[in-house]
Amino acid sequence: MDAILEQFQTRIQTASADGTRLLLRGGGTKDWYGQNVVGDVFDTRAYAGVVDYEPTELVVTARCGTPLAQIEALLAQHGQMLAFEPPRFGAGSTIGGVVASGLSGPRRATAGALRDFVLGAQLMDGRGELLSFGGQVMKNVAGYDVSRLLAGSLGTLGLITRVSLKVLPVPFCEASIRFEVDEVKALRMMNEWAGRPLPVSGTCWHAGVLTVRLSGAQAAVRAAQGGMGGDALADGEAFWAALRDQRCDFFASAEAGAAELWRLSVPATASALVMRGEQLIEWGGAQRWLRVDSGVAGDIRRVTAAAGGHATRYRVESEDLGAGAGAFHPLAPAVARIHERLKAAFDPAGIFNRGRMY
C-alpha cells in the first residue's frame, strides 16, 4: 500500500508543479454533486481496505477507496452500523467519497451528522505531504478539528487517504408508523415529539403522509407506538432504505417530472415554506427537499434565507447552472475569506477539484 501512496504523491507533486487540475474520484457515484469540474481523473480506488476495526471500541478505520458496502457488511456482522446512514448512490460508493460529500441520511436528526462521527483522518495535500489529524478515540480530538472539516469539503482541500469513524450498535427494535396529515400539522407534530423523550430516529412527510421511525429497546418502541398512534407500516425497512438512498418516487426525475432538485436546510421550527413545486420534509422539519422547474434559484434562496436557512441546488438536469445560480448558497464575505485561506493553505496550486464548491 505504501507503493500506491508513493504513486499518488508523485502524481500530485507533478500536477502541482505544472498546474494540472485533478478531479478526485472514487466510484464516481456523486460526480453530479456540486459544480461542474474540469480536470484529469484521479482514481482513488486502488488504495482500499479496512485498516483497523475493533468492535468493542466502536471505531473503524479504512482507506479512501474502500467500498462503503464492504464496510457496512463488516459492521453488520458485529451488530453495528454507520449511524449517520450515508446515502448509497451505487455499488461503487467509497468511504472517501462518503466523507468528502458529507451527506447523511434519515437518522441524522437524532444520531448526528457524518462530521460528528469522524474521529480522525489522513490527508495528502497539494504538496504531496501526508498529514494526520485527530485520532481513533473521541478524547484525542483537541484544538482545531481539521478531520471534521474535511467532511463535506468535496475533495477541494486534498486527497483523503484514510479515515476513522465512530460506529454504533444496531437498535434492538425498530418500527414505523404513518399519519395522514397536511404539511402544517406534520411540522407541528414533529416539533412536539422533539420535546418529548420518544425514540424517534427518522421522520418523512410527503404528499400528505407523515412517516415516523422508532428505534431502541423493544419496550420503549412499543410504548411510543401506543402513545403516538398512527398506522403501522409493514415494510418500514424498505421505505427508509429507499429514502436514504434517494430511490423513492420523489427523487426519481423521470417520475417527478421536474428539472431541478433543491435541498433546503432550515431551523426545524420554521413554518411551512410557501413555494412552487413538490416538497419532501425530513429531519423533524430541518431538511426540506423541493422539486421545481428551472429558473427560480433567486426566489428559493430568498425564501429559505428569510426562514433562517440556506438552499443547495442539489441536482440539475441541465449542465448549465446559469449566471449567479451556483450549486451552493453564496457565502458571507467573512466565511468566504476563511474558505479561501484554507484552500490556499492545503492546496496552494489550486489543483484539487477546483471550483467544485464555489
Q: Which residue segments constitute the domains of the chain, with CATH numbers given? A: 2-169 (3.30.465.10), 173-244 (3.30.70)
Average of per-residue pLDDT values in the chain = 91
Q: How far apart are CA 168 and CA 3, in angstroms?
A: 33
pLDDT tens digit sequence for 314-342: 987 555 544 446 899 999 999 999 999 99
pLDDT tens digit sequence for 113-165: 999 999 999 999 999 999 998 765 544 444 457 888 999 999 999 999 999 99
Which residues are CB-neighbours of 291 under 8 A, at least 6 positions away?
250, 256, 258, 260, 261, 262, 277, 278, 279
Q: How far apart are CA 123 and CA 151, in angstroms?
A: 12
Q: How far apart are CA 241 and CA 209, in angstroms?
A: 17
Could you give the percent of the chain with pLDDT greater than 90? Answer: 80
User: pLDDT at position 225, please?
Assistant: 95
Residue 337 and residue 7 in contact, taking contact as beta carbons nearer than 8 Å: no
Q: How far apart are CA 266 and CA 172, in angstroms?
A: 31
Concatenating the DSSP letter of every residue in 196-245 gives: S---EEEEEEETTEEEEEEEE-HHHHHHHHHHH--EE-TTHHHHHHHHHT
Residue 275 and residue 299 in contact, taking contact as beta carbons nearer than 8 Å: yes
Query: Taking every pair of C-alpha atoms in the chain, what is the biggest distance, in angstroms?
Result: 66
pLDDT tens digit sequence for 13-54: 999 999 999 999 999 999 999 988 889 999 999 999 999 999
User: pLDDT at position 202, please?
Assistant: 98
User: pLDDT at position 325, please?
Assistant: 64
Q: How far apart are CA 300 and CA 118, in angstroms?
A: 32
Residue 251 and residue 175 in contact, taking contact as beta carbons nearer than 8 Å: no
pTM for the model stands at 0.91
User: pLDDT at position 87, please?
Assistant: 96
Question: Span 62-82, mean pLDDT?
Answer: 98
The amino acid occupying position 253 is S
User: pLDDT at position 46, please?
Assistant: 96
Residue 2 and residue 332 in contact, taking contact as beta carbons nearer than 8 Å: no
Which residues are CB-neighbours of 231 under 8 A, at least 6 positions away?
177, 178, 179
User: pLDDT at position 4, please?
Assistant: 96
Which residues are CB-neighbours of 224 under 8 A, at least 6 positions away?
198, 199, 200, 214
Burial class (CB in 10 A: 0-12, 13-18, 19+), 342: middle
Tally of helices (H runs) and strands (E runs) in the chain: 11, 17
User: pLDDT at position 171, please?
Assistant: 97
Question: Span 254-262, mean pLDDT?
Answer: 64
User: pLDDT at position 317, please?
Assistant: 58
